[in-house]
Structure 1
Amino acid sequence: MYDFAIIGGGIVGLSTGMALGKRYPHARILVLEKESKWAFHQTGNNSGVIHSGIYYKPGSFKAKFCRDGCRSMVEFCQEHGIDYEVCGKVIVATEEEELPRLENLYKRGLENGIEIKRISPEEVKEIEPHVRCVGGIYVLSTGIVNYKQVCEKYAQIIAQQGGELRLNTKVEKIVTSSNTQILETNNGTFEARFVVNCAGLHSDRVAKLGKVDPQAKIVPFRGEYYELTPEKRYLVKGLIYPVPNPEFPFLGVHFTRMIDGSVHAGPNAVLSLKREGYNKTDFDLRDFAEVMTYAGFWKLAAKHSDEGIKEIVRSFSKAAFTRSLQKLIPEVQAEDLVPTHAGVRAQALMNDGKLVDDFLILHGQNSVHVCNAPSPAATSSIEIGKAIVAQIPEQQHLETALV
């Protein structure tokens, strides 16, 4: 019997396994992942940004986890020799009417304890010579990293701690008793005293398998990216973001220099017709039907219909996508952009049409369910892992490490 079983081998599941191994050095820990590789979905397809925490509501889990996670992620990379760079980013207003929102964002950053400064258009050009704007913020602590490498190191640490890692193992049924959880999978049956659900895009379904109602449904949004051709990479030195619309849950298309030197532009945000639908043509009847019959989705769509239509247009029109990018860098042309990989974000949505804006962690019988861990989950992963472990009742049969 295992002391802990973690469902999901993305960055949150692996960080939780690592934190459990540190707290309970002699525990039998099992991590189950249905894919053939770690970090196969959200973690492995994100932008690779180490976020600062500037965007998030002061006092929220997002704000605290991200601010602290930014520091701990950099320290982790330094300790384990993982390539990273604290390159900073600029957030810019391209129109006069955006300046009040930029000022509000600056004040929020100060409230969250972020190292930031206001910069003039001339100062923006010193950092990013090709940007056109009327004002900006420079966020000094933002960085870039390859989160797949981070996850590989997390998995390695779990193995060194004595944990057991199983790929190609999908949980299909959970049988709950008073003292244990039995996980029936396509690759055998496993028994554990405690289960942690970190199943990402399928976290709501796994919660229901464990007899927990998340009171929210995962709705998948695909983010599509272009990449600057190598000869045009000089246009972007680091990270360039627009001022986000506070009424819309996504940050808007932006430029991100990746740790390998490539420059990604995007993403837009469109409904995916499959929870793991990385291509426009991907379709799953069950996933599609769940969204189409969910009242919360239609309430969200009605509220954001104008922005939603713009996102769909950008998805099918390279010219429209290019025009959005030209607001930041006028020199960018359509021929400078080539399609690159997309990502799918698992967004928890409540029945009343409200997006679950913060992390959603629920408790069941001998279980914890992470039912919403959106960006900045990768940045915050070390802190989230520790927080999840702190919510697990003390395991009296296990010796706790001295901290």
Structure 2
Amino acid sequence: MSYDYCVIGGGIVGLATAMQLLERRPGASVVLLEKEGRLAAHQTGHNSGVIHAGVYYAPGSLKAELCRAGAAATKAFCRDNDIPFRTCGKLIVATNAAELERMGALEERARRNGIELTRLDRAGLAEAEPEIEGLGALHVPASAIVDYKRVAAAFGERIRASGGEIRLASPVTAIRETARGIEVDTDRTTINARMLVACAGLQSDRLARLAGLPITHRIVPFRGEYFVLDKKHEGRIRHLIYPVPDPALPFLGIHLTLMIDGSVTVGPNAVLGLSREREAKWSADLADLGAMAGFPGFWRMAQRNWRTGATEFLNSIWRRGYLDQCRKYYPPLELADLKPYPAGVRAQAVEADGRMVDDFLMLESARMLHVCNAPSPAATSALPIAARIVDRIEAKRADLG
């Protein structure tokens, strides 16, 4: 049970990392551990399926750079592996004067990021999307849609074809770093590896603590609730329809998403989760609740964002409020058009001072690298994120000799 590399986490970032380790070092022994019985069981399998262009991110930031590179790399991988994707484009719609003003700043940011886009006035928006209401919009033609579960499955196939090993239903129970390597206990066996990468998503803080790394943050789960629209709406919308983000709010807001199967979803909202991994509404985990309650950063975050949290909670229990968020730019929607759709849980790293971590957060030791926060657009950016991780872990290996 001895390997060159051990990767923990069968989401899209962990899979991309294992795949690229094997590409960099053909013949290396790599094992990937996933505690669930399938790959992409949590965040990867419950996102909106968008290949983002990178409009929202600060010019020159790592997120902006990785998103642009990731969009190109994801599309290329899909072409090479016969995975269907559709470049449908995105409309970021302003519905009032304040949003129109913020849209101008967003346009400038996108152009500084080198993203192709066109500004539409009310008439141009009506021509592009006759049923969408707004004062104007930004048209981002490069935005696309894909099924990330299929992408993750293809990563897994590439890993196995390159000689890597994937172990499902293998929860990690202990991690020990020694001068000679890393020992990883699962509920079945002990694995020895020279180097370890942990991409554990919703459990990333717990894995880092298990490995003895000093952490100041905790993962706080936010539940994103979606609806799928009645089939009569399929084909009536040609683009992804997004709101102009409010910089004062921590999350983007509800949007209309074309899915690769032809359906249209609306969402997500952002409701505090009662469990890290149980997606069903009102499903709670006492250990997760206790961990949040005992973390001062959670209460500081809640104090700062209580108005937004209250609104999100109200819209979660009152579908009419949720509907109103959609109807401001898509008036044809009725309450009966909102059909049940699986929710997803997002891992949000929160620091002890209550600050939500908005960028990538990695913790390291001599033989380990833990990805503790991989925010949106992590799915889009998985391949270049993995390349950076592999760069770091290979540098560590070289330092060790």
TM-score by length of 2: 0.97
Q: 1:4-15 alignment to 2 at 5 Å?
A: 4-15=5-16
The alignment partner of 2:114 has SS state of coil
Tell me, yes or no, if the aligned pair for 1:132 and 1:327 is still in contact at 8 Å. Answer: yes
Matches of 2:243 and 2:91 in 1, distance apart?
A: 8
1:17 aligns with 2:41: no
Tell me, yes or no, if the aligned pair for 1:362 and 1:369 is still in contact at 8 Å. Answer: yes
Amino acid at match of 2:197: V
The alignment partner of 2:364 has SS state of strand
Q: 1:289-308 alignment to 2 at 5 Å?
A: 289-308=290-309
* CA displacement 1:259-304 (0-9 Å, x = unmatched): 0001000111001011012122211111001112222122222222
Q: 1:275-290 alignment to 2 at 5 Å?
A: 275-290=276-291
Q: Give the C-alpha shift of residue 213 in structure 1.
A: 2.0
1:132 aligns with 2:148: no
Matches of 1:116 and 1:241 in 2, distance apart?
A: 14
1:244 aligns with 2:251: no
Name which of structure 1's ranges 132-141 and 288-297 shifts more when overlaid on structure 2: 288-297
Q: Which residue of 1 aligns with 2:184?
A: 183
Amino acid at match of 1:142: S
The alignment partner of 1:341 has SS state of coil
Q: Which residue of 1 aligns with 2:95?
A: 94
Amino acid at match of 2:373: N
Amino acid at match of 1:392: I
Q: Which residue of 2 aligns with 1:167?
A: 168
1:344 aligns with 2:365: no
Amino acid at match of 2:187: N
Matches of 1:137 and 1:73 in 2, distance apart?
A: 23
Q: Which residue of 2 aligns with 1:66?
A: 67
Q: Which residue of 2 aligns with 1:311?
A: 312
Matches of 1:240 and 1:372 in 2, distance apart?
A: 27
Q: Give the C-alpha shift of residue 398 in structure 1.
A: 12
Name which of structure 1's ranges 230-239 and 28-37 shifts more when overlaid on structure 2: 230-239
Name which of structure 1's ranges 301-310 and 5-14 shifts more when overlaid on structure 2: 301-310
Amino acid at match of 1:325: C
Q: Give the C-alpha shift of residue 236 in structure 1.
A: 2.1
Matches of 2:348 and 2:100 in 1, distance apart?
A: 29
1:146 aligns with 2:174: no
Matches of 2:65 and 2:222 in 1, distance apart?
A: 25
Q: Which residue of 1 aligns with 2:233?
A: 232
Q: Which residue of 2 aligns with 1:38?
A: 39
Work out the percentage of aligned pairs sharing the same amino acid.
Answer: 45
The alignment partner of 1:332 has SS state of coil
Q: Which runs of 5+ in 1 are unaligned?
A: none
Q: Which residue of 2 aligns with 1:47?
A: 48
The alignment partner of 1:392 has SS state of helix
The alignment partner of 2:105 has SS state of helix
CA RMSD of aligned residues (A): 1.5
Q: Give the C-alpha shift of residue 109 in structure 1.
A: 0.6
Q: Give the C-alpha shift of residue 238 in structure 1.
A: 2.2
Matches of 1:333 and 1:270 in 2, distance apart?
A: 23
Amino acid at match of 1:34: K
Name which of structure 1's ranges 117-126 and 219-228 shifts more when overlaid on structure 2: 117-126
Matches of 1:157 and 1:234 in 2, distance apart?
A: 35
Q: 1:264-275 alignment to 2 at 5 Å?
A: 264-275=265-276
Amino acid at match of 1:356: V
Q: Give the C-alpha shift of residue 191 in structure 1.
A: 0.6
Name which of structure 1's ranges 51-60 and 165-174 shifts more when overlaid on structure 2: 51-60
* CA displacement 1:290-348 (0-9 Å, x = unmatched): 11222212222222222111100111011111111001101111011112010100010
1:120 aligns with 2:129: no
The verdict on how the C-alpha distance between 1:12 and 1:176 changes in structure 2, with shifts beyond 3 A counting, is: same
* CA displacement 1:197-232 (0-9 Å, x = unmatched): 100000011011111123211000000001101112
The alignment partner of 1:194 has SS state of strand
The alignment partner of 2:234 has SS state of helix
Matches of 2:353 and 2:390 in 1, distance apart?
A: 31
Tell me, yes or no, if the aligned pair for 1:21 and 1:29 is still in contact at 8 Å. Answer: yes
Number of residue pairs matched by the alignment: 399
The alignment partner of 1:240 has SS state of strand
Q: Give the C-alpha shift of residue 258 in structure 1.
A: 0.3
Q: Give the C-alpha shift of residue 127 in structure 1.
A: 2.0
Q: Which residue of 2 aligns with 1:335?
A: 336
* CA displacement 1:173-204 (0-9 Å, x = unmatched): 01221121111101211111111010000001
The alignment partner of 2:324 has SS state of helix
Q: Which residue of 1 aligns with 2:109?
A: 108
1:386 aligns with 2:381: no
Q: Which runs of 5+ in 2 are unaligned?
A: none
* CA displacement 1:147-184 (0-9 Å, x = unmatched): 00001110111111111111010001012211211111
Name which of structure 1's ranges 55-64 and 136-145 shifts more when overlaid on structure 2: 55-64
Matches of 2:329 and 2:235 in 1, distance apart?
A: 15
